[in-house]
Amino acid sequence: MLTTMQDERLLYAPEAYSAADPWAIVRRYPFALLITCGPSGMLATSIPILPEADGARDRMIGHMARANPQACAMVVGQSALAIFCGPHAYISASWYRERLTVPTWNYVSAHVRGTLEPIDDPAQQLAILRRTAAVVEGANDSSWTLEDAPPGRVDTLLPRIRSFRLTVGRIEGVTKLSQTHPASDRRRVIQRLLARGGEGDVEIAQLMAGLSIENDCP
């Protein structure tokens, strides 16, 4: 049964930083780190992992190279952890004036725990590739489909990948965005991040700016 933050937490996230909607993080940042553990030890691969259908929150899908040791080690019912990492940015302690503190990092992340079902059937693998292309190309405002691939390329690719379904048992998320600091300090952090201008800096600043004023802490 799917569990969320109301249950005992496995992801460390103080109450102020617990994500209200971890699925929003999963959907926005679908490139995840899949971690499994088996007889050969702990294995991990960075791959896109997506909801199997629009609006689905109980099953996710993905694929990796069949030559990958993690793909070879997949078995039905195997426990897995998928980590979806959003942007992150270093926060200098010098940016806080109202409430002095130490340096820290602001970041966004979600953890999805569940069980795996390896998928070797060509038709199902093709469906997973189609779903993956549709979601990521749609987010890229592109209309590319598998039919646009070079002739025979997809047929050549299918035997070289192994797909899987992840049945979701628990999802948790963290959005650490200086929520526990006064509004004046948060505004200063946003300004400094925008001035620094790195990719993570700008996105974290935008996420901080999107926080409701009702979330201001005294």
Residue ranges and CATH numbers for the domains of the chain are 15-88+102-180 (2.30.110.10)
Q: What is the pLDDT of residues 65-88, one digit of tens each?
A: 999 999 999 999 999 999 999 999
What is residue 152's predicted lDDT score, i.e. its pLDDT?
Answer: 94
Average pLDDT value over all residues in the chain: 91
What is residue 2's predicted lDDT score, i.e. its pLDDT?
Answer: 53
Cβ atoms of 63 and 116 closer than 8 Å: no
Give 211's pLDDT tier (boundaries 50, 70, 90).
low
Residue 65 has phi, psi (to 5 degrees) of -60, 135
Q: What is the pTM assigned to this prediction? A: 0.89
Q: What is the pLDDT of residues 34-67, one digit of tens each?
A: 999 988 899 999 999 999 999 889 999 999 999 9
CA distance readout (Å), 27 to 48, 85, 212 = 11, 11, 21
Cβ atoms of 108 and 25 closer than 8 Å: yes
